[in-house]
Chains A and B, each alone.
Chain A
Amino acid sequence: MSGLLTRRPALRWVAPGAALAVVATGSQIAAHWPADAATNLPPRTAQQLLVDLQRAQPSALSGTVKATSSLGLPQLPESVTSGTGNSSPLALLAGSHTAKVWYDGKTSARVALLGDGSETDLVSNGGGLWLWQSADKSVLHVPAPSGGTQRSTDHDKDPQLPAELSTPEGVASWALRMLDPSTAVTTSSNERIAGRAAYQLVLTPKTAGTKIGSVRISIDAANQTPLRAQVFAKGASNPAINVGFTSIDYGKQPASRFDFTPPPGAKVTQATPHPGKPKSGDASAATTNGSATPPKVVGKDWASVVVGKLPPKQTVAKDDSSLQQALRLLPEASGSWGRGHLLNTALFTAVITDDGRYAVGAVPASSLYAALGRS
């Protein structure tokens, strides 16, 4: 052996080469191992899957969610996006992000969005809603409405609803009928996601006027927890938006996981919720105090376009210069509808005209121009 190596010293290089090959192939096998495992599930129709979804009892879980969006937007270097903190919701629009999720099966949940050396936590518990951002040590607290803390995730059974909707089967067939004119609902080959066998529900728009090719939702075969959602652009083989669990554990979660006490030194902001609406305060606030005309919807279903006018106040706001700069990066477009800048992504397009009108939709740019011209 050693004699061979003395005669042919070059043979020694086989050792590091082989080690490199083992490391490379080993890591690839490890990365793809769970996905390649076969799934043997009894076939189920789209309607049966919808019924399953209705019947599903929310189960306590913890897991890691990975969201990847490749909308065709230019990817900015990390140093540019880190100005806003790369775990901030704004930065979610591009690239790939990881979050940890805990849910107790009832009302308490915690979502931790992981950034490089930073974290944004959203905690929902009996005391309301807490938003923690480690980048500036700020806490936003939305207290629970005084009426009671139980916020049922199930649909409230409204007596006005037709009797059909009181059973899961009824809701499923109703949903299918509602979707039917615009959307084909089918199932696709079963998959293994985060180590769990899963059914796949595919929603395909029937109209040609949209950029969305299909929406795929994967559902855990054992307990009907949605495991992954993907949005494909028309003709694309890779999803433009992919949100799914990379690992998931079902089981009881410790109650302490959902506790949140603002740490000393944190800036705490109290928000007063709208009565009966415990979350998403700013969305409703923007529409109520904006002097802008309410946006209109042109077109229908998948091909609908939202057309509106930016509030005039906003166009002279102080931080407008950055918005203007961002706008200038976008290609210009003009036509009979006016002049403006066009944001064209794989899934949706948006136009902001120079006189403050906008149009957004999951449609080709030409449909936006038509909608702008008509309004």
Chain B
Amino acid sequence: MRFLLSELRLIAGRRRNQAGLLVLIAMPVLLAVAVRLTEDNPRGGGPPGFIDQIVGNGVFVAFAALTFEITIFFPLAISMISGDAIAGEAHSGTLRYLLTVPAGRVRVLIVKYLGIVAGSVVAALSVAIVGAAVGAAIFGTGPLLTLSGTQIPLGTGLGRLALSALYVALGLCALGAVGLFLSTLTEQPIAATVALMVVTSAMWVLDAIPQLSALHPWLLVDRWPAFADLMRDPADYAAVTEGILVDLGYIVVFLLAAWARFAGKDITS
């Protein structure tokens, strides 16, 4: 437990992680201000996601921010944390000290992964909370307009926002499992970070090619934007459930792969 607390303190204390979190929560603020300034012409560029509805209800700033950040910003944050997890320790030569303290390799791996999980949850929740708060302050709130053209009370809407944020966080945890595995492969944290970003971008590209539709259900990112289905009336949980199963599958497979690699690895630095 103490080990986990010190790991969390280590992650939270890193300047680059603090700056990353600032960038993440700056996005909804930027979004809200931009929409506010162009309010006269709300239907400017196109119809992405929930932007049109921000003017009517500030809570949609949070949904729009989650939709935007899920493609690049969130994966980038997770790449950074997971790159530091094992490869970072190996690079700075602290990994062997970590293991000479009587802490088993499995325990090190578990604590490192819990650190990534904490990072994912904090990232998704803070964007949702900051987005809802800033949006509410600028545009006000009230009943939320669903995609089905009906309205749901604010309380229900906030509940669905919380579910959406947790769903996004679980997706990031699954990405973090892949990142942890990549982190055990190398001693260069930057290599692990870049590799995870390459994996993420490649999955987004594959997901956008309709000819590969048979492959799409197997891609981690395919169901990530499905939390928009929660804003239907009644909420549609089918795609979200599939997304959760895919996330869990990735978590199990890649954590075991990380264990297989890390437990048998020669620690030389």
Q: Which of A47-55, A134-142, A195-203, A315-323 has 4 or more CB atoms under 8 Å from chain B?
A: A134-142
Pick the residue among B47, B254, B263 that contacts A118 (CB under 8 A): B47
Name the segment of B12-20, B25-33, B114-122, B205-213 touching the other chain: B205-213
Bitwise interface map of A from 244 to 281 toward B, beta carbon under 8 Å scored 1, else 0: 00000000000000011111111000000000000000
In the assembled complex, B267 has its CB within 8 A of some CB on chain A: no
Q: How far in angstroms is the closest Cβ of chain A from B140?
A: 13
Please determine whether A75 and B211 come into contact, CB atoms closer than 8 angstroms: yes
Residues of the B chain whose Cβ atoms lie less than 8 Å from the Cβ of A77: 208-210
- B236 and A265 contacting across the interface, CB-CB below 8 Å: no
Contact A12:B208 (CB < 8 A) given known A23-B249, A121-B149: no
Tell me, in angstroms, the Cα distance from A16 to B254 when the chains sit together. 7
Q: Which of the 9-residue segments B80-88, B192-200, B225-233 touches chain A?
A: B225-233
One of B48-56, B92-100, B160-168 contacting the partner: B48-56
A5 contacts chain B at the CB level, 8 A cutoff:
yes
- Chain A residue nearest to B251 (CB atoms) is A19
Cα distance, A63 to B52, chains bound together (Å): 30
Distance to closest chain B CB from A20 (angstroms)? 5
Q: Answer whether residue B154 sits at the interface, using C-beta atoms and an 8 A cutoff.
A: no
Q: Is A114 an interface residue (CB 8 A)?
A: yes
Cβ of B47 and Cβ of A136 under 8 Å apart? yes
**Complexed CA–CA distance, A264 and B52 (Å):** 13
Q: Hey, which chain A residues are within 8 Å of B232, CB to CB?
A: 112, 114, 119
Q: Say whether A100 faces chain B, with CB atoms less than 8 Å apart.
A: yes
- Bound: A244/B261 CA distance, A: 46
Q: How far is the CB of A81 from chain B (nearest CB, A)?
A: 9
A contact residues around B68 at 8 Å (CB) = none
**A15 interfacial by beta-carbon distance below 8 Å:** yes
Q: For the complex, what is the distance from the CA of A112 to the CA of B67, rounded to whole Å?
A: 22
Interface flag for A147 (CB, 8 Å): no
Most central of A20, A95, A96, A134 by chain B CB within 10 Å = A134
Task: Decide yes or no whether B1 CB sits under 8 A from chain A.
Answer: no
CB of A75 within 8 A of CB of B149, answer no
- In the complex the two chains form, is A13's CB within 8 Å of B149's CB? no
Give the interface of A toward B (CB within 8 A): 5, 9-10, 12-13, 15-16, 19-20, 23, 27, 64, 75-79, 82, 85, 95-96, 100, 112, 114, 116-119, 121, 132, 134-137, 139, 259-266
- Chain B residues near A (Cβ < 8 Å): 43, 47-50, 52, 56, 67, 145, 147-151, 208-211, 213, 217, 225, 228-229, 232, 236, 238, 245, 249, 252-254, 256-257, 259-261, 263-264
